[in-house]
Amino acid sequence: GAGVSQSPSNKVTEKGKDVELRCDPISGHTALYWYRQSLGQGLEFLIYFQGNSAPDKSGLPSDRFSAERTGGSVSTLTIQRTQQEDSAVYLCASSDRARETQYFGPGTRLLVL
Amino acid sequence: KNQVEQSPQSLIILEGKNCTLQCNYTVSPFSNLRWYKQDTGRGPVSLTIMTFSENTKSNGRYTATLDADTKQSSLHITASQLSDSASYICVVGSGAGSYQLTFGKGTKLSVIP
């Protein structure tokens, strides 16, 4: 079956521009996660969605970052007024339940010039 | 602060040889420990998940161990193959909502012919 997909695979943008990153989780998975992976660093938790519950936004680094999940499926991570330090790989994962295996997408490589 | 430390940072081994990767963690409360394999340019893929009561789990040529008393885990790879070349990431889940994961920076393994 189809895995987690993300788009775009690569994004180059100018400092100050807004970007939207998309994640399509595995069908039926109720939990969805966004992570950021900077060069040479471990994955950094950003936000977690579980069903219709309020998302856990505790990992978002600033108010320039926001995410939504429409209809309990597709999620969009938005970064406003991008900065060079936002350059990283943004990974999305989904799981059947919070304690289960997380299946990762291929990531979106964001470069802010 | 929850931390996951992995060693070595990188490793080169000959095809067919065995190797062991180490993970030490200071995560509390502990919920589970996971090992992921991440190929270059791809998202991480789960290898094993262990809870507090499990001290070993195998997945093919991969065997993970967990010592919850010393807060150490290892991933042993038997009869390495060229396709094992990847980063191996140790991840520890904490709290009642064990989606709260702390990621190590990974060990970069290169298997050469």
Q: Give me the pLDDT at residue A99, please.
A: 61
Q: Do B43 and A43 count as a contact with CB atoms less than 8 A apart?
A: no
**Strand-pair category, B45-51 with B19-26:** unpaired
Closest Cβ opposite residue A42 in set B31, B46, B106 = B106
Q: What torsion, rounded to 10 degrees, do the Cα atoms A52, A105, B64, B79 define?
A: 160
Q: Among all residues of chain B, which has the CA nearest to that of A34?
A: B99
Tell me what pLDDT residue B27 has. 86
Asked if A101 lies within 8 A of B46 by C-beta distance, the reply is: yes
- For residue A98, is pLDDT > 70? no
pLDDT at B94: 81
Q: What percent of chain A has pLDDT over 90?
A: 72
pLDDT in tens, A51-79: 888 898 988 999 999 999 988 799 999 99
User: Are A28 and A97 within 8 A, CB to CB?
Assistant: no
**Candidate from A20-34, A40-54, B53-67 with smallest mean pLDDT:** A40-54
The reported pLDDT for the residue numbered A49 is 92
